[in-house]
Amino acid sequence: MNLDNISSNLIYEIQKAFFDERGEGARYRMVRIGVEYVEKELGKNLKDMDTLLDGLKKLGFVEDISFSEEDVLADIEVKGCAFKQVRDLFMDKGLQPLSCPVANIVMDYLEKQTGLSPERLPISREGNVCKVSLAKMATSDVVTE
Protein backbone atom coordinates (compact mmCIF):
# COMPACT_ATOMS: atom_id res chain seq x y z
CA MET A 1 0.00 0.00 0.00
CA ASN A 2 1.47 3.38 -0.97
CA LEU A 3 1.39 6.60 1.07
CA ASP A 4 -1.59 8.01 -0.89
CA ASN A 5 -3.64 4.90 -0.12
CA ILE A 6 -2.65 5.01 3.55
CA SER A 7 -3.53 8.72 3.79
CA SER A 8 -6.86 8.27 2.02
CA ASN A 9 -7.81 5.32 4.20
CA LEU A 10 -6.89 7.20 7.38
CA ILE A 11 -8.85 10.30 6.28
CA TYR A 12 -11.82 8.04 5.55
CA GLU A 13 -11.55 6.31 8.94
CA ILE A 14 -11.34 9.62 10.81
CA GLN A 15 -14.36 11.05 8.99
CA LYS A 16 -16.33 7.81 9.34
CA ALA A 17 -15.65 7.69 13.11
CA PHE A 18 -16.88 11.28 13.41
CA PHE A 19 -19.97 10.43 11.33
CA ASP A 20 -20.65 7.31 13.43
CA GLU A 21 -20.53 9.45 16.57
CA ARG A 22 -22.41 12.53 15.34
CA GLY A 23 -24.47 11.42 12.34
CA GLU A 24 -25.30 13.82 9.49
CA GLY A 25 -24.67 16.79 11.78
CA ALA A 26 -20.93 16.02 11.61
CA ARG A 27 -20.95 17.26 8.03
CA TYR A 28 -21.67 20.80 9.22
CA ARG A 29 -18.61 20.73 11.48
CA MET A 30 -16.28 20.05 8.55
CA VAL A 31 -17.13 22.82 6.08
CA ARG A 32 -13.83 24.64 6.48
CA ILE A 33 -11.52 21.69 5.86
CA GLY A 34 -9.11 22.84 3.15
CA VAL A 35 -9.94 26.54 3.44
CA GLU A 36 -7.11 27.52 5.79
CA TYR A 37 -4.52 25.69 3.67
CA VAL A 38 -5.67 27.38 0.45
CA GLU A 39 -5.78 30.80 2.12
CA LYS A 40 -2.20 30.28 3.28
CA GLU A 41 -1.07 29.22 -0.19
CA LEU A 42 -3.14 31.56 -2.39
CA GLY A 43 -4.02 34.42 -0.05
CA LYS A 44 -7.34 35.42 1.46
CA ASN A 45 -8.39 38.02 -1.10
CA LEU A 46 -8.59 36.29 -4.45
CA LYS A 47 -9.46 38.42 -7.46
CA ASP A 48 -12.21 36.18 -8.83
CA MET A 49 -13.52 32.62 -9.12
CA ASP A 50 -11.21 31.82 -12.06
CA THR A 51 -8.19 32.71 -9.92
CA LEU A 52 -9.43 30.35 -7.21
CA LEU A 53 -10.06 27.50 -9.68
CA ASP A 54 -6.64 27.97 -11.30
CA GLY A 55 -5.10 27.97 -7.82
CA LEU A 56 -6.78 24.66 -6.97
CA LYS A 57 -5.19 23.17 -10.10
CA LYS A 58 -1.75 24.60 -9.30
CA LEU A 59 -1.92 23.28 -5.72
CA GLY A 60 -2.76 19.79 -6.99
CA PHE A 61 -6.26 19.59 -5.52
CA VAL A 62 -7.71 18.87 -8.99
CA GLU A 63 -6.55 18.19 -12.53
CA ASP A 64 -9.37 20.29 -13.94
CA ILE A 65 -12.41 22.08 -12.52
CA SER A 66 -15.35 24.03 -13.90
CA PHE A 67 -17.88 26.22 -12.12
CA SER A 68 -21.27 27.52 -13.19
CA GLU A 69 -24.01 29.24 -11.28
CA GLU A 70 -27.62 30.27 -11.48
CA ASP A 71 -29.75 32.25 -9.06
CA VAL A 72 -30.00 29.63 -6.31
CA LEU A 73 -27.69 26.83 -7.50
CA ALA A 74 -23.99 26.56 -8.29
CA ASP A 75 -22.39 23.52 -9.92
CA ILE A 76 -18.81 22.32 -9.67
CA GLU A 77 -17.41 19.62 -11.94
CA VAL A 78 -14.06 18.22 -10.86
CA LYS A 79 -11.79 15.95 -12.87
CA GLY A 80 -8.89 14.19 -11.21
CA CYS A 81 -9.59 15.19 -7.61
CA ALA A 82 -6.86 14.50 -5.06
CA PHE A 83 -9.59 13.24 -2.70
CA LYS A 84 -11.14 10.73 -5.13
CA GLN A 85 -10.01 7.72 -3.07
CA VAL A 86 -11.74 9.08 0.04
CA ARG A 87 -14.86 9.82 -2.01
CA ASP A 88 -14.88 6.27 -3.34
CA LEU A 89 -14.38 4.72 0.11
CA PHE A 90 -17.58 6.47 1.24
CA MET A 91 -19.63 6.02 -1.92
CA ASP A 92 -18.72 2.34 -2.33
CA LYS A 93 -20.41 1.82 1.05
CA GLY A 94 -23.51 3.74 -0.05
CA LEU A 95 -22.56 6.88 1.92
CA GLN A 96 -21.97 10.46 0.90
CA PRO A 97 -18.49 11.81 1.67
CA LEU A 98 -18.60 13.64 4.97
CA SER A 99 -16.40 16.44 3.70
CA CYS A 100 -15.26 17.69 0.30
CA PRO A 101 -12.32 20.11 0.60
CA VAL A 102 -12.79 21.37 -2.97
CA ALA A 103 -16.47 22.19 -2.37
CA ASN A 104 -15.58 23.71 1.02
CA ILE A 105 -13.09 26.07 -0.61
CA VAL A 106 -15.56 27.15 -3.30
CA MET A 107 -18.35 27.58 -0.71
CA ASP A 108 -16.08 29.72 1.47
CA TYR A 109 -15.21 31.92 -1.53
CA LEU A 110 -18.90 32.33 -2.42
CA GLU A 111 -19.77 33.17 1.17
CA LYS A 112 -17.09 35.87 1.27
CA GLN A 113 -18.38 37.34 -2.00
CA THR A 114 -22.10 37.30 -1.14
CA GLY A 115 -22.31 37.12 2.66
CA LEU A 116 -24.58 34.08 2.31
CA SER A 117 -23.60 30.49 3.18
CA PRO A 118 -24.18 27.92 0.44
CA GLU A 119 -24.88 24.30 1.34
CA ARG A 120 -23.34 21.30 -0.40
CA LEU A 121 -25.86 18.95 -1.95
CA PRO A 122 -25.11 15.26 -2.55
CA ILE A 123 -22.05 14.50 -4.67
CA SER A 124 -22.40 12.36 -7.78
CA ARG A 125 -19.56 10.55 -9.49
CA GLU A 126 -18.80 9.31 -12.95
CA GLY A 127 -15.42 7.60 -12.90
CA ASN A 128 -12.76 10.26 -12.43
CA VAL A 129 -15.34 13.08 -12.35
CA CYS A 130 -17.20 14.48 -9.33
CA LYS A 131 -20.25 16.66 -9.74
CA VAL A 132 -21.13 18.81 -6.77
CA SER A 133 -24.07 21.18 -6.54
CA LEU A 134 -24.30 23.95 -3.99
CA ALA A 135 -27.60 25.40 -2.86
CA LYS A 136 -27.07 29.12 -2.52
CA MET A 137 -29.04 31.05 0.05
CA ALA A 138 -31.39 33.49 -1.62
CA THR A 139 -33.65 36.38 -0.84
CA SER A 140 -37.41 35.95 -1.29
CA ASP A 141 -37.41 38.00 -4.52
CA VAL A 142 -35.11 35.44 -6.19
CA VAL A 143 -37.12 32.46 -4.93
CA THR A 144 -40.47 33.90 -6.11
CA GLU A 145 -39.38 34.94 -9.62
Task: Give residue-wise pLDDT tens across range 56-89.
Answer: 999 999 999 999 999 889 999 999 999 999 999 9
Query: 115 to each of 17, 54, 55, 145, how far by Cα in Å?
Result: 32, 23, 22, 21
Cβ neighbours of residue 97 closer than 8 Å, sequence gap 6 or more? 15, 83, 86, 87, 90, 91, 123
Residue boundaries of the structural domains of the chain: 3-143
Distance, in Å, from the CA atom of 102 to the CA atom of 141, rounded to the nearest integer, reads 30
Are 74 and 110 a contacting pair, CB within 8 Å?
yes
CA angle 118, 70, 96 (to 5 degrees): 45
Confidence of residue 14 (pLDDT cuts 50, 70, 90): confident
Residue 3, pLDDT score:
67
pTM of this structure: 0.87
CATH fold of 3-143 reads Muramoyl-pentapeptide Carboxypeptidase; domain 2 (3.30.1380)
Averaged pLDDT, 108-113: 92
Taking 80 as the threshold, does the pLDDT of residue 48 lie above it?
A: yes
Phi, psi (deg, nearest 5) at residue 29? -95, -5
Distance, in Å, from the CA atom of 130 to the CA atom of 36, rounded to the nearest integer, reads 22
Taking 60 as the threshold, does the pLDDT of residue 142 lie above it?
A: no
Torsion of CA 109, 15, 121, 94, to 10 degrees: 150
Averaged pLDDT, 33-58: 94
